[in-house]
Structure 1
Amino acid sequence: MSKQTGRRRRHLAGLTAWDRCAVMGVVNVTPDSFSDGGRFFDTTAAIKHGLDLVAQGADLVDVGGESTRPGATRVDEDEELRRVVPVVRGLASEGVTVSVDTMRASVAGQALAAGATLVNDVSGGLADPRMIPVVADTGAPFVVMHWRGLLKDGNVKGTYADVVTEVVDELHARVDAVLDGGIAPDRVIVDPGLGFSKDAEHDLVLLAHLDRLLTLGHPLLVAASRKRFLGRVLAGPDAAPPPARERDAATAAVSALAAQAGAWAVRVHEVRATADAVRVARAVEGAR
């Protein structure tokens, strides 16, 4: 690894220190995911899928029981717990490094007790005021994503004069709040929130300026997998975007770019191509 990139890809306390960008595989235990349409809604199927992702090269697996796509309605707490906790327990029992994707403190707490090691909250602790104290008490690493609210009514508050500056500033403020809440600085991850309150142009500009996000001083998670902006890029100005599951090659391209820029991890649905992409990026770094 080059000295420059080695400085940028920061170590995260509480997790393995990979010598390259890590690959976070996605397990959606939901009936309405935009990307896989409920294919892994059953607990047994979800656990098997998580193990398959590890076999394909995932370093950790992110388990979520609530869709955050635009227009999605929230599931109740008991249902989210029913979906998530058995899958987390099953994967952790097999030695998988598990992240829990939730906006609820109760789900985060029970998932951590079941063996999860990381909390990935797309609201950065804003959706549930109990989240930060729960995570701080456990000492788990915590993902702080750029978030402007639930996407019940589409792309809420997606207006920017300078998207990079505003996302960096808003993330900085949120990270400060998380640190003030007791989460250790070396356990905070930042995520620009691609697709959340952003259109395709915003997402592309953020990807072009990942170096600005790294100035926040925390490991960077990039979650571009199968998102709408990739569909827009692939379709061009006049054609209909391809379905989500036909965006995996484009996702792998973003993974290589993110790895080259110094991202700590990329979050993806289809692991094999991205696992190859980040290893190629690492080999190129090593050849400099």
Structure 2
Amino acid sequence: MDRFPVIMGEVLFDCFGDDSVLGGAPFNVAWHLQGFGLNPRFVSRVGADALGAEARARMQDWGLDTRWLAIDPEHPTGRVSVHLTDGQPSYDILPAQAYDYILPPDALGGCGDSLFYHGSLVARSEVSRATLLGLRAAFAGRVFVDVNLRDPWWSMVTLWPLVVGAAWLKLNEDEAIRLVEAGDAARLARERQAGRVVLTRGAQGADVYDGREHLHHVTPPTVVDLVDAVGAGDAFSAVVILGLIEDWAWPVLLRRATAFAARVCGWRGALSDDRTIYREILSDWRGTASS
């Protein structure tokens, strides 16, 4: 696959009391991929407001291409109220945000043999869901679906069409239990024709399954100084995508993904604009090419 993954979905601000932190699962994934040296095409929409201007400016400063970030004159940039309990986040997601009205983008260019990533929250609205399904059709066999079950913004009716036929499906243990009896990831892969299901288990690590069996498990490093777990799953997804593009073996891919997710738990919110973090990690990976 080429190095220009297409990422579609929400960009929003996580609001911790009076503090607003840029985020949104697809945006976080795009941010990390840019940090790791890829050039993702991020397809989304922000309002014609101060938060939208901030999101665009942050993207430009980080080197993310803003050509596919549309401006909505009628709807506000996405906002979410985040509440932390023992470091674990819960979310109050506002309705009718700019990312609910994503329209088909102009030609994406240079990514015809790459990977298409999306989450499930963006499918809550008819407009963005129609755009999403249209884009997916151009990436048959190369679709990565990141399940994020945010009540009340999902249903089986809208979720299953996104899951069926995905090449890679990532979800956490709680989400798996809500979707299939006993959280049986191999059964989920088999019944929904997903190529691989990646199941995250927090401090217990991560696993990958196909439709027949469990393929691999990895135990993550210990998080020594936990700040919060906001964005840890997105950090994990970004490294999985990088590993798929770079053709890493699953044991290597999962080990690196869990290690980066653990590192993100040591800072506030989902993102860092410290480029040295990414350079150091890449240098470590090159020094241990098979681990």
Normalised by the length of structure 1, the TM-score is 0.45
Q: Which structure: greater helix fraction?
A: 1
**TM-score w.r.t. structure 2 length?**
0.44
More strand by share: 2
